[in-house]
Amino acid sequence: MRFLSGLIIFTILMLSLACAESRPATPVETFKAYTKAIKEKDTTTMKLLLSQETIKMHEQEAKAQGVTLDEVVKRETLFKQDQKTVKFRNEKIDGDKATLEVENSFGSWETVPFVKEDGNWRIDKKGYANQMIQEIEQRQNDVFNQGRIQ
């Protein structure tokens, strides 16, 4: 009887621990883990914190440049490895997408997109690249339209 009650208590304890660990991290927690992985040069963890589309984008870059995926991931960080502090603010979550403002090495604030994949928040550098392309195209359209008005 003691063995059975001990087994039940052990099972309940293990299930509660498993449930606590499966809680998805917030975008801020994901960003902090990514920052730590960069500082520790932990490429494996960095890759785990990137979206699937970002990994595909980096694989294409690596193939085009004749380098490994790890080399691209190490190089394509959101801040410099020797940067002492990394500031962030304004986490916004909207369903399976989120953003976080991050201060870059020049002191400007950039919006970093996140996407939820398999219940976990991942940094979406592919979305970031798409966002930059859209901003450039918008600026070009604005310049073009200003030239037509005059």
Q: What is the reported pLDDT for 137?
A: 75
**Which stretches of the chain are assigned E, i.e. beta strand?**
88-94, 97-103, 109-117, 120-123
Q: What is the pLDDT of residue 16?
A: 40
pLDDT along the chain (150 residues), means of 10: 44 41 75 89 93 93 93 80 79 94 85 93 80 74 70
Domains, the chain: 26-149 (3.10.450)
d(CA 132, CA 135): 5
